[in-house]
Amino acid sequence: MKSNKIRTFKLSPITASVILGMFTFIIGWCSMLVFWISYGKPADRGFTFYVSFLFGDSIFLPILAGSLLVYVKLTGVKHDNQAPSLFQKRIAWIVAIISALIGAIIQGSWLLDNQIELNWTIPNPHEFNGAGWWHAAFFVFYFAIMGYLLVRFIIARYIGRLHIETNSQKNSLYLIWFGASGYAYLRQQESLGISFVNWRLLVMIPSVVLVGLLVSTMLCKRRPVITDFKIILASSISAYGIAAVSVGL
């Protein structure tokens, strides 16, 4: 007698995270590269001008998105009885929508700004070209996905009753801090316009570790602080090294 059960295809946590990371990389960095080449590689504040985009969108942001997803999915796989409730999932979606609106407001403020810094995607005040609109859409998308995944991450690590993290979860936690701190370093270097060997940037390492430890302590009181400290310290230092090498110190 044939079974009437419908088989469902489900991606593994690692596969899903790789797909999200690659998708983020392709629709963000790769798509903008195609636009830039199609526009004749404009040199005035062009594709390679902003280090936070050149290396952040190609390395740190895809890693951040993928690692958040794999942590959330690994927690669901290992602790099915502690899966987030429908209410918690709705909260995550609400935050995602709010985050998308924030991203849209930021993009709108760029269009309304009379003194906006012009670049190859904003040729004139109050004007996005095709690449500018594409980047705006990606900006909103990434804000939304971050809002959703951060809420799910907090639920998985704090609201859930997870006492012992697996090595895979610890590895994904390392990558979360790696992606977040690496992008923060690039943004700070870009805004200050100084070398990574300058003391003002070097002091960011202990600052990031301290902030990360405070956040982790507040959200995850039931976990050993020393474990989080080791993960945050190691990921922050390695992210700083990668960021420094990327921009040539």
Structure tokens at 18: 């790789």
Task: Please check whether residue 186 is in contact with residue 193, taking contact to mean a CB–CB distance below 8 angstroms.
Answer: no
Within 13 Å and on the Cβ side, how many CA atoms surround 81?
2
The region, left, alpha or beta by phi > 0 then psi within -120 to 50, assigned to residue 45 is left
Structure tokens at 203: 């002091």
Task: Please check whether residue 120 is in contact with residue 44, taking contact to mean a CB–CB distance below 8 angstroms.
Answer: yes
User: Three-state DSSP class for 92?
Assistant: helix
**Predicted local confidence at residue 86, as pLDDT:** 74
Structure tokens at 109: 């403020």
Instruction: Give the residue from 152, 187, 143 showing the smallest Cα distance to 172.
Output: 152
pLDDT tens string, the chain, 249 residues long: the values are 455 555 556 788 889 999 999 999 999 999 999 999 999 998 888 888 888 999 999 999 999 999 999 998 888 644 444 556 777 788 999 999 999 999 999 999 999 999 999 999 999 999 999 999 999 999 999 999 999 999 998 888 776 655 567 888 888 989 999 999 999 999 988 888 888 888 788 888 888 888 887 777 766 655 566 778 888 889 999 999 998 888 876
Task: Please check whether residue 144 is in contact with residue 93, taking contact to mean a CB–CB distance below 8 angstroms.
Answer: no
Distances (CA, A) of 213 to 65, 81, 147, 229: 20, 28, 21, 6
Q: How far apart are CA 61 and CA 65, in angstroms?
A: 6
**Predicted local confidence at residue 1, as pLDDT:** 46
Residues 6 or more apart whose CB falls under 8 angstroms from that of 24 comprise 61, 62, 65, 66, 142, 145
Q: How far apart are CA 158 and CA 153, in angstroms?
A: 8
**Predicted local confidence at residue 247, as pLDDT:** 80
Extract the runs of DSSP E, i.e. beta strands, from 127-173: none
pTM for this one? 0.87
Residue given tokens 């797909």 in the structure block: 19
**Predicted local confidence at residue 221, as pLDDT:** 57
Q: How far apart are CA 51 and CA 186, in angstroms?
A: 6
